[in-house]
Amino acid sequence: MTPTLPPGHDLVRIAAGEFVRGSDDFDIEAPERTEHLHAFEIDRYPVTVEQYARYCRESGAATPPDFPDATRLAAEPELLRHPVERVSWHEAVAYAGWAGLRLPTEAEWERAARGTDGRRWPWGDRFDEARAVVWDNAKALGVTTVSIDRFPGGESADGVRHLAGNVEEWVHDELRPYPGSSHRSPVAEGGCRVLRGGSWFYTNEYARGSFRRGALPDFTGYAGAGGPGFRCARDAD
């Protein structure tokens, strides 16, 4: 029997098969190639403030920096539907374990974002400010993060939402050069974990499905500039 998940987790099944991974645009993303994945399930949405608050209450975990307090949530209840941010990789792993899930692998995250055809953004190959919140439009909109109910047109081919912009997301893997890549840098020599998807604080190029960057697992971002969020996954039955 599949265990009951905490409220808010709406898992999307991604079928087994081949997909286009990587890009030849930048050496940290290269080489572009085809890979095969087993079936898996991934959260339709990033983990929200509401979900993370419940986790902290029930587990005794500390809230992340800049987490909205009860007074602010009472005044701005819509924040409960925003993705949690400024979460370290260790905290994301702890939440996922508490929920009976795990972080997606980097390959799983990219497959969910790019479908099987290697599209640049979850909806296609041309960026559209009506489908995601990134630096290009966040300033004009006067927002940082937005509710997971916003930008429904930004979903992937499998119906996964907010894989571009809003908050960048931790995945399980360490940042390493892909096999066959010429990339060399101290960040990619081990110890850093991968962040995917860009955020409201980064331009649309960071929101491409093949974009990858690394940060130390205790990184939580910066005051006024936000920081990482995450979503969960599990093996498919």
> Residue 77 to residues 50, 57, 69, 73, 165: CA-CA distances in angstroms?
10, 18, 11, 5, 22
Q: What is the pLDDT of residue 4?
A: 87
Residue 68: pLDDT over 60: yes
User: pLDDT band at residue 129, thresholds of 50, 70 and 90?
Assistant: very high
Element housing 19 (H / E): strand 17-21
Q: How far is CA 44 from CA 72, 226, 232, 237, in A?
A: 26, 22, 9, 17
Amino acid in the structure at residue 98: W
Q: How many domains does the chain have?
A: 1
Q: At residue 180, what are phi and psi to the nearest 5 degrees?
A: 90, -5
The dihedral of CA 70, 74, 76, 82: what is its sign? positive
CA 184 – CA 133 distance, rounded (Å):
31
Is 169's pLDDT higher than 60?
yes
**Residue 2 falls inside a structural domain:** no
The mean pLDDT value of the chain amounts to 96
- Domain annotation covers residue 5: no
Confidence label for 224 from pLDDT (cuts 50, 70 and 90): confident
**What does the pLDDT read at residue 111?**
98
Per-residue pLDDT at 227: 97
Q: Is position 1 within any domain?
A: no
Question: Structure tokens of 54?
Answer: 């419940």
Is residue 140 very low, low, confident or very high in pLDDT (cuts 50, 70, 90)? confident
Read off the tokens for 52.
């993370």
| Higher local confidence (pLDDT), 55 or 1 | 55
Q: What is the pLDDT of residues 182-218, one digit of tens each?
A: 999 999 998 999 999 999 999 999 999 999 999 999 9
In a domain, 27, yes or no: yes
The amino acid at residue 107 is A
In a domain, 120, yes or no: yes
pLDDT confidence tier of residue 159, bands split at 50, 70 and 90: very high
pLDDT at 1 over 60: no
Domain of residue 24: give its range. Answer: 11-235
pLDDT band at 237 (very low <50, low <70, confident <90, very high): confident
pLDDT recorded at residue 120: 98
Q: What percentage of the chain has pLDDT greater than the value 90?
A: 94
Closest CA to 162 of 12, 23, 4, 30: 12
The string of DSSP codes covering 166-219 is SS-EEEEEE--PPTT-----GGGGSS-EEEES--TTS-GGGGSTT--EEE-TT-
Question: Does residue 3 form part of some domain?
Answer: no
Is the N-terminal amide bond of 64 cis, ω within 30° of 0? no
Say if 158 falls within a structural domain. Answer: yes
Determine the pLDDT at residue 2.
63
Residue 200 forms part of a structural domain: yes
Q: What is the CATH number of the domain that holds 201?
A: 3.90.1580.10
Provide the residue type at 188 as one letter: A
Q: Given a cut of 80, is residue 3 above it in pLDDT?
A: no
For residue 78, the model assigns a pLDDT of 96
pLDDT (mean) for 225-233: 97
